[in-house]
Amino acid sequence: MNEPSGHLPTASPAAAVPPPAVPPPAGCPAHETAVRLGGLEYQQTPAELYRELRRRYGAVAPVLLDGDVPAWLVLGYPEVSYVTAHDDLFARDSRRWNQWEAIPVDWPLMPFVGYQPSVLFTEGAEHQLRASVITEALEVVDQFELAQWCRRIAGLLINAFAGSGQAELMSAYAHALPMRAAVQMCGMPARGTDTEELVRDLRISLDAGEGDDPVAAYVRVQERIRRLVKEKRAVPGADVTSRMLSHPAGLSDEEIVQDLISVIAAAQQPTANWIGNTLRLLLTDDRFALNVSGGRLSVGQALNEVLWLDTPTQNFIGRWAVRDTTLAGRRIRAGDCVVLGLAAANTDPQIWPEGHVGAENAAHLSFGNGEHRCPYPAPMLADVIARTAVETLLERLPDVVLAVEPAELAWRPSVWMRGLTALPVRFTPVMQ
Ligand code: HEM
């Protein structure tokens, strides 16, 4: 149904071993009329589908994931806020799922739900500790220095296609830049054979193409990050890895490996699609004239509008009910899977009664909410990376335009990420 691309993958299909099964809820009546997530119509115009689901089911819809596995999709802004704020009721450890018996080991969503002992799946005091180690290591990242790295990385990527007068920006730019920025934050050079291999393997394990072996790539990523941790243990530097290692919490090397992979993976896909979706908006919407003299709305406004209207992590899987409860009148059983409908919540008519969606503030749920939200200061770092990527491209290629009609731009066939399959552009070739 949908490719296993999405935010925060945690394990290769083979690496994720389902925990002992709890019997699935027998014939939940709500799911007899559930909607299958996915399908082309969904991918291209999800906003319409969310409207329809809301009309039919209200704020919480019974849905079927790949292989017709039942789950709940939370569509309402107050309801997503409630679920994420009550981690005692809707928690992150996927081992409590009551559907494991029905899930094959090679299930496409396994990388996102297969339990791993990382920050993503830990709970309570342990999660607070793991998250604080990440937060404190990220807090020290100098945003001016990060912007400088990003400009340098952007320059090198643009140099590779500037002379040709054309490019496919998703692969040549939007995906490549945040990956390199994240790797550099963690203490590896943005370029070099080792880094190139890690970047390639991360891409394959996060977003496998035809002929790729995501399991083998993920094993190589783990090996490389283990080596990085060992190197930084021996010779610390001014980087996120070294700061995590020297944190007084004293996490083990293996815990740090798991959390570093989570950080790099979490930084990659959503930031890449944030860049791509913003470039698309700038290139297709007259309110954002691309040259500086004609510009009416800024890059900052475009970045924020995307978070409201085309948020990169459109649905996030998820939370698992700790005990029987109700949500928006639905009976949720212990162990049910709850998918956070972040895009649907951002466009909830309850918060936009006038029908106009989007504000200049950051009250959207695009970075999640509550205990497991995207950890401070990651959203700010992501903003630096995305803003620098967009601004540098526009500065270097001031007459860049789409090379296809806007209607020809296709969205990725993913229920989880909102991003383009390709963004072909043309511009006056720049000789270096
Ligand atoms: C420098 C870039 C980024 C880094 C380092 C980063 C890091 C992380 C980490 C480590 C988590 C796991 C938190 C936990 O489970 O406690 C997380 C969660 C999350 N991040 Fe980010 N992230 C980045 C960019 C983004 C972007 C651009 C978006 C979307 C616009 C985003 C949206 C989210 C969401 C929706 C979650 C899940 C929240 C939840 O479970 O409620 N992140 N991020």
* Span 184-221, pLDDT tens digits: 999 987 777 888 888 888 878 777 677 778 788 888 99
> What does the pLDDT read at residue 24?
41
Virtual CA dihedral for 157, 161, 162, 164, nearest 10 degrees?
180
Q: How far is the CA of 15 from the centre of ligand 1 (A)?
A: 22
pLDDT tens per residue across span 262-305 = 999 899 889 999 999 999 999 999 888 655 445 557 899 999 99
> Among residues of the chain, what percentage have pLDDT more than 70?
89
Ligand 1 in reach of 275 Cβ (< 6 A): no
Ligand 1 in reach of 339 Cβ (< 6 A): no
Ligand 1 in reach of 378 Cβ (< 6 A): yes
Burial classification of residue 77, based on how many CB atoms lie within 10 Å of its CB (0-12 exposed, 13-18 middle, 19 or more buried): buried
Strands 337-340, 69-74: pairing kind? parallel
pTM of the model: 0.92
CA distance 310 to 303: 10
- 11 Cβ contact list (under 8 Å, min separation 6): 110, 111, 114, 115, 116, 218
Angle between helices 378-396 and 176-185 (to 10 degrees): 130
Q: Say if domain 29-426 classifies as CATH 3.20.20.80.
A: no
| Residues 256 and 232: beta-carbon distance below 8 Å | no
Ligand 1 in reach of 69 Cβ (< 6 A): no
Ligand 1 in reach of 121 Cβ (< 6 A): no
Instruction: Report the nearest-CA residue for atom 17 of ligand 1.
Output: 374
Ligand 1 in reach of 313 Cβ (< 6 A): yes
Instruction: Report the nearest-CA residue for atom 21 of ligand 1.
Output: 374
Q: Where are the domains of the chain?
A: 29-426
Instruction: Report the nearest-CA residue for atom 43 of ligand 1.
Output: 374
Q: How far is the CA of 292 from the centre of ligand 1 (A)?
A: 32
Weakest-pLDDT range from 102-106, 173-177, 290-294: 290-294
